[in-house]
Every structure is written in structure tokens, then in C-alpha cells.
């Protein structure tokens, strides 16, 4: 009888007969102490005396007794009735006809069919027609291919020829409230107030289930399938959540009505979950029906609350209106024409001007309950907005709008005022918390704007997603208006199929992606060079193994023959997308993106930029993703240029620099958009670290109270490992050669360096050349202006001359502020030792004055300048005249040196007197003779008219003799010693770094 036509005589033309074929499948007497039978139920509908059978199969375990079989049929009928449309109640006189059961005599046995006919009684015209499948105009039941026992959805059948015109257009506004908005009784009350205050003539409000309820119901299904009996207690928790919310919101008949419906639904769910528990399985259709209850309850509650405030309001089960067609990609396509017809019929029977509708749920063309999948409530709102031609769709959520980047990764991300549909589409595809891409499709056609608003911050205007202006004047567009935002996709892998045999061979790409399709993997991005030598594409990392194996298998012959060289997998990648209206057609935007990435020392593995002009996509290492996001975001002035700083050396120069940073921080943020975050300060013994930035007004206090044992490796890792900041700079304020030895490794890791430490650039030549070569090959910056003239622009002046093509002939200068002071004050009336003691007391010298008088510091500066000019000199190559008397060079202490220094005043006084007699002065200078390729540090005599004789105090002076400045050298003069000017020189380098990384210059 299975599959045959059933005609029951005596049934009127307005009757419906529900036919159930009970097929005994098997039993297992050993499963329990009771005999249990597996039943397959086939259900068919017979209308107007005819119709094809609809078979919907599921497994039930039932005790082998005829009365239980009768009860099964009655229960099935009542289960059907529970899901009929509200306008129809299943007749109470359901009877079971032709009940039949056969005996069995073995432990496992197959049985023939028994027929049960449940006569549903007479139905009047224009009542709800129950059907499974799609009834044509002639009443024929079209077969469905579903294999699940599904509650039948009620369908309103209107036989009247009169048509009611549905009012559409600007009179309608559509609102959507997500689970967070419907999370508690208080937030539901807030939602009701927003609905009531909306002065639109007509309103349709789409609501999600209460917060976490959908996940709770999915968990119920999972537990039932796993035969975990805790689903019962979890269902009670679900009941209690809604019961308590209703009691807080409603009163009187409203609360009684709602609780009655709630208990009825919970009882049905309990029975359904029990069936799932027994069978150990639930199909997608069954799960979709169960999981949609959260929206039913929240919509009913909100409708009661709105009516409680005196507003006429109806609630809509959108399964009666929205018709969707499932696709093969676990999505659904809305049937807008059919949905529009059903909406008109629904509104003709429910003329309220305020409608509370369920989100997320819908029906198939066969009226089988389904869902719009995740983010389905937004989709519901967009579909309803399109059907009604609403003037606006407002999506209420818990954020102020759409951000220019993920605010969890970029703390300075800003709210975007407007987005085009395409921009929103692109950003949502790449993981931005905007809307699901499909949500935008229904409203784009009619140009209906979507507004993203924050229910918890009504003062925020939100983000408007709409059509872009018809005409845009590109002349005045800024980078901000061209690039709206940035988004990322994590956990992807690149697959690279490469080989010379691919070039010019038609169908290769088709075979590659056909193979990927057969695996069921999702291709996120594709990049192919015009040479056709390789095809590179990104897939989710969890799918890459299957993709690689399938490609290896498919192209095994080509790989063995050498036509393909490899199928390569590059794991642990992320995708970064820059999104903006027509940015790709604007010169400089792409260059700015890649420049920002390069300057953050981030390598790009693959690039994709379509001609749609909305998206530039790059693939990079996963560990670089957040830093890359912050780098490009910062570069486009959507936030401050933020640099994480680590200060090494908290002595005189380091401490002074920290004080200068403290005093200037507000100005830098306010005027230059530069945010310098000192993440760590370390001395030789202790260090302090911070995740967000050290309060520089109290850093000395923190160092004493909270300092931990200094560890350079830990310090560097902390400063550089903080991915919330795209750029890291280490400022070495020491004179330690051991610290300088780490520069190469730090630069290689993408850490910028700023320093007044001369040891690196004047150290071993091979190490210097290695560091400079690395610097030239990367976008990692190494600034050392303060190594030669403290705050004076000596290095930058020299580079400017060289880079503009000038030829350096000689550099000569007084490079030591200490020795400048000594010889500016060494007159015939004073002794040499007296002036040295005065300089030491004034703080111009090192604790041991021999460090200055030896001339080594000047020699290091000469080496630095010589190497900048291209001379490959070692420190030992410098001809050095020391001002420390030979007998005093080996004395142990500085105090003893100072005591014995007066014994040698005669020699120095003699030199001074001879110079004075010749109308000259003594000056201790460093010289770079570029023509001869040599360097000197010595005591020289200059005419009193010479610029070097005009110095005062501790000033430095440097003269550049070049091809352009040959007759009159280019002179740089100013203070060249002291903590203030040296720290200022370092600070200037930090700001130069910020400018090169994207800050306004």
C-alpha cells in the first residue's frame, strides 16, 4: 500500500483525511526487558477525495501492544494539531480506523504494513488547510523528498476573489532587535518604549530569541541526540527563564495567556526531544522546527508589552509569511513574490499598524519549518523591509555602529557615519561585526537604508548603510573617505599550485577549483599571476589538508611528469582587507596600504584586488595580523599613530627623555595624532613593565616600588610582543656595547631603534656594515642623530648633502662639549688642571675626566661620520692625540688622577702661550679627511677669526667642506653636551620615526 493513492469513500468535499502507514521495521527483544518495535511512519494527506501520498519517515520505539499503536496514531494526530495555524483547532473526534497488527515469532522480524486512517472530520471553507507538500490550484499534493516526521504548518487558504491592497512604502518602518536587546525584562521594556515612540504610521518589529536562548535550544537537541537525560532539566531552565521574564513584564490575563502557551510549547518540545533521545538523531528540518521556539516566545511577550501600553499590536509567526528555498551552501534564498502574496493575505486578516514578527524562522515552499541560519533575524528584517518597501530598516544592537576596524584589536577605531551597501557587504564578508552579506541583498534593490543603532546608547546616531551619492567629486576626497575600514579573517591557509605546464593550458584553473569544490571546501580568496605559472588561493585552515590531498591525487600524473612542480600549503595565515568606495581607482591608495605594511616590517604572502574598486586583500602571517591591522588603520589617519616604546637606561639621559615625553604627551596626541606609549623602562638592575603604558608622572616611584629584576630578553619580548600596537621602538640611552650588540637582531625582528649610544656605529666594522645593510633592505628604522652632536642635526645634514649629490671633502669639528668648555675657558691666567676641575664640578665631564680627555669619545664620532661618508675605517685607524698625560693613564681612581694632574700644567700652559703669542687659540678637534681616507683627533691651533675660535661654553661646531661648500664650509653650531639637549635629540628621532610611520609631518 505504500506509495499508492488512497480514496476514502464518504468523505465530503470539505474534508481532510490524514492517512498513516505504520511499517514495522524491526524489534530487538534484548534491548530492554520489554519488547520494543521500531516503526517507520508514513503520512499522507487526502484532500477532496484524492491526492498523492507524502511519505515522511522517522523511527519510533514502541511497546508491542495494539493499544499503544492506537495511542501512537492519536498522539501523532494531536502533534500535528499543535502546530496548525492559530485560526484552526484540530477536531476532537479523531478516530482510528482499520487498526491491524500481526504477531511475530522471532527475536528480530520484518512485518507487513498496517493501515491507520485518522479521519479529521469536516472542515469548513476558508478554514486552515492542513497539508504536507505543496497543493496546486487543482488540489494535487506535490511530493516532497524530506525524510523527517515534520509537524504540518498551517496555511491560510483564501478562496475569495476579492483582493485587499497592501499599503506599502514610506509609511512603514522596520526595526530589528537582537538577542542582547531582548535579553532581560528590562531590555524588553526598553524595546517596547522604542517601538511606541517611533512616530511612523506603520511599524513592523522583528525580534530574535532572548539572549542565549537559541544556543540553549541547540544544546537541548545535542543533549537529546547524545542520550544525555540532562536535556530535561535544561528544558526546565528554559521554561523558568521565560516564565520569570513574563511575570516581571506582564500581569492579569496577559500573563496567564502567555504562560499557557509557553507550557503548551514546552510540553510539545519535551515530547519531541524524547523522540530525539530515543532515536539518537534529529534531522536538520526537525532541529529547525525546535530551535525556532525562542523567537515565538520573545515575539509574543513583546506584543503583550506593547499592547499593555495601549497600542494596537499583532504578533506574526513569520513561518506563515516568509517562504525560502534552501540552497546547497547551507543558506536559503527568499522567495520574495510568494512571500509578498502571503504577507498581503496575512495583513488583510491582521490590520494592526504595529506588528511584532519573529526573526530567524521561515518555511519552505512545502510549508516545512526552517530557519534563515545564523544572523537570520537581520535577514528577516531586510526581507520584510523589502516586501513592505519601508523607508528604513533599523538594526538595534549593543554597539554604537560600524567601526573602522575591530575595536577589540584597534582601540582607536572610530564609528563610521555612512557606508555604501557594497562597503558594508565587503566588510561583513571579511569578518567585521556589521551585517551578514546576504542581509543587504533584499534592501539594495529598492535602495532602502539600513541603520545600525545601539539600544543602550540612544544618543549615538549610528551608521547608515545606503546608496552612495550619484555623483562624487574626487578632487576633495581624503584617504579617510576612500578607505572606510579594515577587516580580517583568521585561521586560513594558502594553497599554491605551481608549474610551467599550467601556462596557456585551458581548463587548468577549472580543474583545480572543481577539485576543491568536490572536497566541499570554501575558497576565501584567489590570486593568479598573468603568466599563469601558478594559482594561489586561500581556504579555511581546517579544510586545507583535504584540499591538498585531493589536488595531489587529481594532478598526480602532472606532478610525476613535471608539468606541475608542486602543490604547496602555507599554513597559519590571516587575510587583511581594506574596504572603501572606489579606492582602487584612486592613485596612491594601494601604495599607502603596502607602504604601511612594509614600514611595520610585515611581509605580504599574496595579494588580490578586483576591479570592483571596493577591496584590497592581502594574505600575511597569522602572528602579524593584528599588527598589520593597526599599521594600516593608523596610516589612514583613522586613529592615532601609536608606537610602543621601551626605554633602556633610566639614568641621566633616559630619565630626562622620560620627563620630556611626559610633558609633551598631550600636545603630541592633540596636534599630531601621535600616541607614544612607554611599555617598559629598564635599568641595569630593575625594570618596570606595563600592558597599556606607564604613567610617566610616576615612573620613578613605580621603579622603586614595583620594579622587578632586569631581564633584557623579557623586556624586549614584552614591548614588542604587545600586538595592540603595530610599531615598536627601543630607545637605548646607555653607552653599553653589550646593548648595542643586540641591534641587528632587534632590527631583524622589525623593532625600530633610536639611540645616542655610539658603540654600535663605531664598533667593529663588520657588525656595523651588517646592521646598515639590514636597515637598507627593510622598512625598519634606525635613528642615531644624537650619537655625534647630541641635539644638533649633524647626521641629517651630512645625509642631505650626500643624497643630493654633493661630494664631501672634509669634515672638521669640535665634537666634545666637555673639551669645548675646557679650551674655551683655558686662558693664560688659568691653569689647565683648574679648568678641568671646574668642568667636572659643573657636570660637563664623565665621572672620570680621562674618559673625555683621552679623546676616545671624539674618535668614535669621527668614525661614525667617516663611515657615513663611505670610509671603511676601524676605531684603531684613527690617529688619536690623548690629552691625558702618559704617567696618569694607568692610575686607578679618578680622584688620584685629579690630584696629580696639576703636575703636568706646565706642558699644556706652554702650548697655550705659544698659540696666544701667534694670535691663535687651542681647540681639540676631530677631522675626517675624505680625500685621503683618514681620520684624526688632535689638538690644533686656529686664528681668532676662525669660527672654531668663536665658541663659548660647551658648544659644538662642525664644518662641512664639500664641492658645493668649498670656499666657505657649511657650519652647524650649538650646544653639543648635556642631558637636556641629548634627550631632545633622541626625542626628535622618535618623532622622525613617527612621521615615517604615517603621522603628519
pLDDT at 784: 94
Which of 104-118, 148-162, 557-571 comes out lowest in average pLDDT?
104-118
pLDDT at 51: 38
Q: What is the largest CA-CA distance in the chain?
A: 143
pLDDT at 165: 56
Residue 646 contacts residue 679 (beta carbons within 8 Å) = yes
pLDDT at 387: 95
Residue 460 contacts residue 453 (beta carbons within 8 Å) = yes
When pLDDT is cut at 50, 70 and 90, the band that residue 63 belongs to is very low
pLDDT at 349: 92
Determine the average pLDDT of the residues in 687-692. 90
Do the strands 534-540 and 485-498 form a parallel or antiparallel pair, or are they unpaired? antiparallel
Determine the average pLDDT of the residues in 260-285. 91
* Separation CA 573–CA 618 (nearest Å): 10
DSSP 312-325: --EEE-GGGT-BEE
* Separation CA 897–CA 914 (nearest Å): 26
Residue 563 contacts residue 534 (beta carbons within 8 Å) = no
Determine the average pLDDT of the residues in 28-43. 33
Is the confidence at residue 147, as pLDDT, over 80?
no
* Separation CA 279–CA 715 (nearest Å): 59
* Separation CA 93–CA 105 (nearest Å): 36
Is the confidence at residue 489, as pLDDT, over 50?
yes
Is the confidence at residue 82, as pLDDT, over 60?
no
Which of 86-90, 867-871, 958-962 comes out lowest in average pLDDT?
86-90
Q: Which residue has the higher pLDDT, 454 or 58?
A: 454
When pLDDT is cut at 50, 70 and 90, the band that residue 28 belongs to is very low
pLDDT at 92: 36
The pLDDT tens digits of the residues spanning 910-936 come to 999 999 999 999 999 999 999 999 999
Q: Which residue has the higher pLDDT, 186 or 164?
A: 186
The pLDDT tens digits of the residues spanning 401-436 come to 998 888 888 877 888 889 988 888 888 877 666 677
Most confident of 29-43, 319-333, 343-357, 626-640: 343-357
Determine the average pLDDT of the residues in 573-602. 82
Determine the average pLDDT of the residues in 732-752. 93
Local structure of residue 456 (DSSP, 8 states): T
pLDDT at 233: 95
Name the 3-class secondary structure at 569: strand
Is the confidence at residue 35, as pLDDT, over 60?
no
Q: Which residue has the higher pLDDT, 322 or 431?
A: 322
Is the confidence at residue 980, as pLDDT, over 80?
yes
Report the chain's mean pLDDT, rounded to a whole number.
80
Could you tell me the strand order of the sheet in which 727-732 lies? 708-709, 686-689, 674-682, 641-648, 727-732, 752-754, 782-783
Residue 398 contacts residue 180 (beta carbons within 8 Å) = yes
When pLDDT is cut at 50, 70 and 90, the band that residue 635 belongs to is confident
Burial 959-972 (b: 16+ CB within 10 A, else e): bbbbeebeeebbeb
When pLDDT is cut at 50, 70 and 90, the band that residue 780 belongs to is confident
**3-state DSSP helix/strand/coil percent for the chain, to nearest 5?**
40, 25, 35
Residue 762 contacts residue 856 (beta carbons within 8 Å) = no
pLDDT at 234: 94
Q: Which residue has the higher pLDDT, 78 or 686?
A: 686
DSSP 789-808: HTTS-HHHHHHHHHHTT--E
When pLDDT is cut at 50, 70 and 90, the band that residue 508 belongs to is confident
pLDDT at 26: 31
When pLDDT is cut at 50, 70 and 90, the band that residue 568 belongs to is very high
pLDDT at 389: 93
Is the confidence at residue 27, as pLDDT, over 50?
no
Scanning the structure block, which residue is given the C-alpha cell 688620584?
Answer: 896
Residue 440 contacts residue 450 (beta carbons within 8 Å) = yes
Is the confidence at residue 18, as pLDDT, over 90?
no
Which of 319-328, 371-380, 454-463, 479-488 comes out lowest in average pLDDT?
479-488
Q: Name 879's bridge partners.
A: 936
Nearest to 208 by CA among 379, 456, 71, 368: 379
Is the confidence at residue 437, as pLDDT, over 80?
no
State what percent of residues in the chain have pLDDT above 70: 79
Integer-rounded Cα radius of gyration of the chain:
41
Is the confidence at residue 672, as pLDDT, over 70?
yes
pLDDT at 692: 82
The pLDDT tens digits of the residues spanning 525-540 come to 898 766 567 889 999 9
State what percent of residues in the chain have pLDDT above 90: 49
When pLDDT is cut at 50, 70 and 90, the band that residue 499 belongs to is confident
Residue 604 C-alpha cell reads as 605580504
DSSP 937-986: EEEEEEETTSGGGG--TTEEEEEEEESSSSSS-EEEEEE--SHHHHHHHH
Is the confidence at residue 621, as pLDDT, over 60?
yes
When pLDDT is cut at 50, 70 and 90, the band that residue 262 belongs to is very high
CA dihedral of 765, 767, 769, 775, whole degrees rounded to 10: -150
pLDDT at 723: 61
Local structure of residue 163 (DSSP, 8 states): -
When pLDDT is cut at 50, 70 and 90, the band that residue 601 belongs to is confident
Name the 3-class secondary structure at 311: coil
Other Cβ atoms less than 10 A from the Cβ of 713: the count is 8
Residue 645 contacts residue 677 (beta carbons within 8 Å) = yes
Residues recognised as catalytic: 861
Is the confidence at residue 24, as pLDDT, over 50?
no
Which of 460-474, 800-814, 830-844 comes out lowest in average pLDDT?
460-474
Other Cβ atoms less than 10 A from the Cβ of 777: the count is 9
* End-to-end Cα distance, the chain: 86
Say how many CA atoms lie within 13 Å of 646 toward its Cβ. 30
Residues 6+ apart with CB under 8 A from 30: 107
Nearest to 756 by CA among 900, 860, 896: 860
pLDDT at 872: 94
pLDDT at 483: 84
Is the confidence at residue 673, as pLDDT, over 90?
no
pLDDT at 247: 96
Other Cβ atoms less than 10 A from the Cβ of 446: the count is 10
pLDDT at 611: 59
Cα–Cα distances in Å, from 858 out to 200, 363, 891? 80, 85, 22
Residue 313 contacts residue 354 (beta carbons within 8 Å) = yes
Residue 873 C-alpha cell reads as 675605517
Please state the φ and ψ torsions of residue 60, each to the nearest 5 degrees: -125, 145
Is the confidence at residue 44, as pLDDT, over 50?
no
Amino acid at each position: 500500500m505504500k506509495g499508492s493513492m488512497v480514496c476514502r469513500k464518504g468523505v465530503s468535499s470539505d474534508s481532510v483525511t490524514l492517512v498513516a502507514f505504520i511499517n514495522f521495521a524491526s524489534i530487538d527483544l534484548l534491548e530492554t526487558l520489554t519488547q520494543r518495535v521500531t516503526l517507520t511512519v508514513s503520512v499522507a494527506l487526502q484532500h477532496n477525495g484524492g491526492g498523492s501520498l507524502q511519505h515522511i519517515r522517522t523511527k519510533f520505539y514502541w511497546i508491542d501492544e495494539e493499544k499503544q499503536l492506537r495511542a501512537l496514531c492519536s498522539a501523532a494526530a494531536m502533534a500535528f494539531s499543535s502546530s496548525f495555524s492559530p485560526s484552526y483547532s484540530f477536531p476532537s473526534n479523531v478516530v482510528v480506523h482499520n487498526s491491524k497488527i500481526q504477531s511475530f515469532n522471532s527475536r528480530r522480524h520484518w512485518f507487513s504494513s498496517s493501515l491507520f486512517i485518522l479521519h479529521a472530520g469536516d472542515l469548513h471553507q476558508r478554514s486552515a488547510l492542513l497539508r504536507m507538500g505543496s497543493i496546486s490550484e487543482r488540489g494535487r499534493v506535490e511530493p516532497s523528498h524530506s525524510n523527517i516526521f515534520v509537524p504540518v504548518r498551517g496555511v491560510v487558504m483564501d478562496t475569495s476573489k476579492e483582493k485587499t491592497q497592501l499599503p506599502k512604502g514610506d509609511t512603514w518602518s522596520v526595526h530589528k532587535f537582537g538577542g542582547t536587546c531582548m535579553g532581560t525584562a528590562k531590555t524588553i521594556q526598553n524595546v517596547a518604549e522604542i517601538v511606541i515612540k517611533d512616530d511612523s504610521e506603520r511599524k513592523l518589529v522583528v525580534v530574535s530569541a532572548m539572549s542565549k536562548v537559541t544556543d540553549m535550544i541547540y544544546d537541548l537537541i545535542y543533549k537529546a541526540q547524545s542520550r544525555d537525560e540532562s536535556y530535561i532539566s535544561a528544558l526546565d531552565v528554559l521554561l523558568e527563564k521565560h516564565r520569570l521574564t513574563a511575570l516581571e513584564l506582564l500581569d492579569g490575563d496577559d500573563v496567564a495567556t502567555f504562560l499557557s502557551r509557553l507550557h503548551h510549547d514546552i510540553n510539545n518540545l519535551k515530547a519531541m526531544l524524547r523522540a530525539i533521545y530515543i532515536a539518537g538523531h534529529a534531522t536538520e528540518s526537525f532541529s529547525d522546527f525546535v530551535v525556532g521556539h525562542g523567537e515565538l516566545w520573545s515575539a509574543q511577550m513583546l506584543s503583550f508589552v506593547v499592547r499593555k501600553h495601549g497600542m494596537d499590536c499583532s504578533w506574526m509567526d513569520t513561518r506563515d509569511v516568509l517562504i525560502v528555498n534552501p540552497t546547497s551552501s547551507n543558506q536559503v534564498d527568499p522567495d520574495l513574490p510568494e512571500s509578498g502574496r502571503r504577507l498581503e493575505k496575512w495583513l488583510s486578516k491582521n490590520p494592526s499598524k504595529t506588528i511584532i514578527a519573529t526573526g530567524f524562522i521561515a518555511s519552505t515552499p512545502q510549508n516545512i519549518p526552517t530557519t534563515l541560519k545564523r544572523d537570520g533575524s537581520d535577514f528577516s528584517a531586510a526581507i520584510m523591509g523589502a516586501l513592505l518597501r519601508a523607508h528604513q530598516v533599523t538594526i538595534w544592537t549593543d554597539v554604537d555602529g560600524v567601526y573602522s576596524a575591530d575595536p577589540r584589536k584597534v582601540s582607536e577605531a572610530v564609528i563610521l557615519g555612512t557606508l555604501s551597501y557594497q562597503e558594508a557587504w565587503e566588510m561583513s564578508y571579511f569578518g567585521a561585526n556589521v551585517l551578514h552579506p546576504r542581509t543587504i541583498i533584499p534592501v539594495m534593490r529598492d535602495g532602502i537604508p539600513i541603520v545600525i543603532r545601539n539600544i543602550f546608547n540612544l544618543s549615538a546616531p549610528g551608521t547608515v548603510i545606503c546608496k552612495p551619492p550619484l555623483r562624487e567629486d574626487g578632487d576633495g576626497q581624503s584617504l579617510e573617505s576612500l578607505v572606510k575600514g579594515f577587516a580580517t579573517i583568521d585561521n586560513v591557509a594558502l594553497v599554491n599550485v605551481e608549474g610551467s605546464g599550467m601556462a596557456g593550458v585551458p581548463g587548468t584553473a577549472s580543474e583545480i577549483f572543481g577539485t576543491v569544490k568536490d572536497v566541499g571546501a570554501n575558497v576565501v580568496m584567489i590570486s593568479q599571476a598573468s603568466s599563469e605559472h601558478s594559482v594561489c588561493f586561500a581556504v579555511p585552515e581546517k579544510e586545507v589538508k583535504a584540499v591538498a590531498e585531493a589536488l595531489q591525487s587529481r594532478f598526480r600524473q602532472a606532478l610525476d611528469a613535471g608539468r606541475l612542480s608542486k602543490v604547496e600549503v602555507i599554513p597559519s595565515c590571516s587575510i587583511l582587507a581594506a574596504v572603501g568606495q572606489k579606492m582602487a581607482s584612486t592613485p596612491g591608495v594601494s601604495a599607502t596600504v603596502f607602504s604601511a605594511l612594509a614600514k611595520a616590517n610585515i611581509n605580504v604572502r599574496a595579494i588580490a584586488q578586483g576591479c570592483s574598486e571596493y577591496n584590497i586583500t592581502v594574505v600575511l602571517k597569522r602572528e602579524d595580523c593584528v599588527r598589520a591591522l593597526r599599521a594600516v588603520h593608523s596610516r589612514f589617519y583613522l586613529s592615532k599613530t601609536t608606537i610602543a616604546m621601551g626605554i633602556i637606561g633610566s639614568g641621566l639621559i633616559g630619565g630626562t627623555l622620560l620627563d620630556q615625553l611626559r610633558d609633551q604627551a598631550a600636545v603630541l596626541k592633540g596636534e599630531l595624532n601621535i600616541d607614544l606609549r612607554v611599555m617598559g623602562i629598564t635599568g641595569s638592575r630593575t625594570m618596570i613593565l606595563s600592558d597599556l603604558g606607564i604613567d610617566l608622572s610616576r615612573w620613578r616611584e613605580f621603579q622603586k616600588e614595583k620594579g622587578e629584576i632586569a631581564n633584557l630578553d623579557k623586556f624586549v619580548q614584552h614591548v614588542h610582543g604587545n600586538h595592540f600596537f603595530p610599531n615598536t621602538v627601543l630607545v637605548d640611552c646607555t653607552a653599553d656595547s653589550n646593548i648595542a650588540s643586540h641591534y641587528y637582531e632587534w632590527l631583524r625582528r622589525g623593532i625600530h631603534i633610536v639611540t645616542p649610544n655610539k658603540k654600535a656605529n663605531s664598533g667593529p666594522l663588520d657588525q656595523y656594515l651588517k646592521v646598515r645593510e639590514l636597515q637598507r633592505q627593510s622598512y625598519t628604522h634606525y635613528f642615531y642623530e644624537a650619537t655625534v652632536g647630541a641635539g644638533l642635526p649633524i647626521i641629517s645634514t651630512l645625509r642631505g648633502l650626500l643624497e643630493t649629490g654633493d661630494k664631501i671633502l672634509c669634515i672638521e669639528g669640535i665634537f666634545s662639549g666637555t673639551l669645548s668648555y675646557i679650551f674655551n675657558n683655558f686662558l693664560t691666567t688659568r691653569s689647565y688642571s683648574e679648568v678641568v676641575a671646574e668642568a667636572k664640578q659643573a657636570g660637563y665631564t664623565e665621572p672620570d675626566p680621562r674618559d673625555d680627555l683621552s679623546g676616545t669619545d671624539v674618535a668614535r664620532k669621527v668614525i661614525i661620520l667617516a663611515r657615513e661618508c663611505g670610509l671603511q675605517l676601524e676605531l684603531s685607524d684613527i690617529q688619536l692625540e690623548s690629552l691625558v698625560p702618559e704617567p696618569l693613564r694607568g692610575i686607578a681612581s679618578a680622584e688620584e688622577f685629579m690630584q696629580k694632574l696639576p703636575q703636568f700644567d706646565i706642558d699644556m700652559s706652554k702650548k697655550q702661550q705659544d698659540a696666544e703669542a701667534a694670535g691663535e687659540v687651542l681647540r681639540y678637534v676631530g677631522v675626517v679627511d675624505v680625500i685621503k681616507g683618514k681620520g684624526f683627533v688632535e689638538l690644533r691651533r686656529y686664528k681668532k677669526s676662525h669660527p672654531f675660535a668663536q665658541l663659548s661654553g660647551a658648544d659644538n661646531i662642525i664644518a662641512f667642506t664639500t664641492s658645493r661648500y668649498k670656499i666657505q664650509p657649511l657650519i652647524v653650531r650649538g650646544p653639543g653636551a648635556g642631558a637636556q639637549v641629548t634627550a631632545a635629540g633622541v626625542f626628535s628621532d622618535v618623532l622622525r620615526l613617527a612621521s615615517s610611520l604615517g603621522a603628519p609631518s
